[in-house]
Chains A and B, each alone.
Chain A
Amino acid sequence: QSVLGQPPSVSGAPGQRVTISCSGSRSNIGNYFVSWYQQFPGRAPKLLIYDNNQRPSGIPDRFSGSKSGTSATLVITGLRTGDEADYYCGAWDNGLTGGPKWLFGGGTKLTVL
């Protein structure tokens, strides 16, 4: 598996709550911490969530993460137009062949209606 599974797009109205899922397997999410990244068009990605549910300094508590089994979820509450971006999950994969590989999800485009 070279990519973690994410929905291509999600949408919500300002003020609403949206969730972005990230699906994997025992060889990745099931055994490793998950992180989430936010990327605006033309900009470098930015760390949003680490260790499944921790926020770096400066990230508002409207963003939260969780993990259960081989899946992870990013939740954004109180949606704002400024949250429109691409969101990526990521985790190590211990791989069946060769050394460990880092996997990113395919990315989810968030549209704020």
Chain B
Amino acid sequence: QVQLVESGGGLVKPGGSLRLSCETSGFAFSGHYMSWIRQAPGRGLEWISYISGSGDTKYYGESVEGRFTVSRDNTQNSLFLQMNSLRAEDTALYYCARVSDYASGDVFDVWGQGTLVTVAS
């Protein structure tokens, strides 16, 4: 059974840092691109990062570029998001999502349940 389980969320002060993890199971992790997507309370989805299977290629959303870093450990089947210089507007539920290997275009075919990050003083 394919599973994505996020962890590492919590309450952090503005300017602080947090590292999110996404543990995966049930599929060949290294063969899939992965993404982080967030959703602020009562708001829509916002894509924030994308990483290739090897970890060599990374893309970021404008709102987090330069502050967030995505990485992965294929030996541990895990995805990470290092978040620095956090702002109140980073408060959101952070989802880990798998990029499918069957579509012609990239799509997010499996999602975790999310981990909540709250940035407040």
Q: Name A's B-contacting residues (CB within 8 A).
A: 2-3, 32-35, 37, 39, 44-47, 50-51, 54, 56, 86, 88, 90-92, 98-107
CB of B108 within 8 A of CB of A37, answer: yes
Chain A contact residues: helix, strand, loop or mixed: strand
6 shortest interchain CB distances as A-B pairs:
A33-B105, A102-B47, A107-B44, A44-B111, A50-B107, A35-B107
Q: Who on chain A is nearest to B95 by CB?
A: A44
B interface residues, how many (CB within 8 angstroms): 25
| Minimum CB–CB distance for A23 against chain B, Å | 15
A106 B107 Cβ-Cβ under 8 A: no
| Chain A residue at minimal CB-CB distance from B100 | A50
Instruction: Spell out B's residues near A (CB within 8 Å).
Output: 35, 37, 44-47, 50, 59-62, 65, 95, 100, 103-109, 111-114
B107 contact from A2, A39, A47, A101, Cβ within 8 A: A47
Contact of B106 among A44, A86, A92, A98 (CB under 8 A): A92
Whether the pair A104, B47 counts as a contact (CB closer than 8 A) is: yes
**Given contacts A100-B59, A101-B62, A88 and B104 within 8 Å (CB-CB):** no
B95 near A104: Cβ-Cβ < 8 Å: no
